[in-house]
Amino acid sequence: MEDSVPPDLVTLDTARPIWDQFFSVAPLVVIGTKEGEHYNLAPKHMAGPLGWDNYFVFVCTPRHETYHNIRKTGEFTVTYPRPTQVVVTSLTAEPREDLEEPKPTLAVLPTFRASEVDSLFLQDGYLFLECRLDKILDGFSLNSIVVGRVVASHVHADALRSAERDDQELIYRSPLLAYLSPGRYATIKESYSFPFPADFKR
């Protein structure tokens, strides 16, 4: 066994954030919230399921209105966009000078209403989650963890797994969008079965 860091590794300075010095793969989602009399959409990439039950988690910050909207209303939506929606997803990140007014681009983005919570989805995604706030965990420097319980979910028919459909064929025909942090994205069309050990159990 090696007893020291191999010479081809670069040791990073953890006195500052390390995450911009290499690429990592993450989902890209759009979080929907109610903001006063208006609605808000915002992209997030530090997000995903929390465990095996119906909980969804994402990282936010009190510097963003998304955080305060969820604290006030106790609910939010999640849209998983497709690779064809990169530009539309990017538009949801548009900044505002007047927080009393909705983001100008939201008036032209295609959306639809959630069924169980008072918020919007970005139209034409492949997976849609409606969440009620379970808890917010503050104190991770400037960041917070938002945990929601999924109370309704909807998946596009072309993205739904079934025994009659081959998984690779499904992903090839309905590609997935991945965010390559920092600042890039990828379309996932090729996939392979993971070689789990014979007796593996989750």
Q: Give bridge partners of residue 130 from the DSSP assignment.
A: 77, 152
**93 pLDDT more than 90:** no
User: Token pair of 170, please?
Assistant: 């499904």
Residue 71 is predicted with a pLDDT of 97
Q: What is the rounded radius of gyration, in angstroms, for the C-alpha atoms of the chain?
A: 19
Q: If you average pLDDT over residues 163-180, what whole number do you get?
A: 94
Tokens of 163: 């025994």
Q: pLDDT digits over 8-43, tens only? A: 999 999 999 999 999 999 999 999 999 988 899 999
Beta strands in the chain (DSSP E): 24-27, 29-35, 38-44, 47-49, 55-60, 75-80, 111-113, 120-122, 127-140, 143-155, 176-181, 184-188
Task: List the structure tokens of 122.
Answer: 């970005």
Q: Show the CA angle centred on residue 132, arms to residues 101 and 121, nearest 5°.
A: 50
Domain ranges of the chain: 25-188
CATH code of the domain occupying 25-188: 2.30.110.10
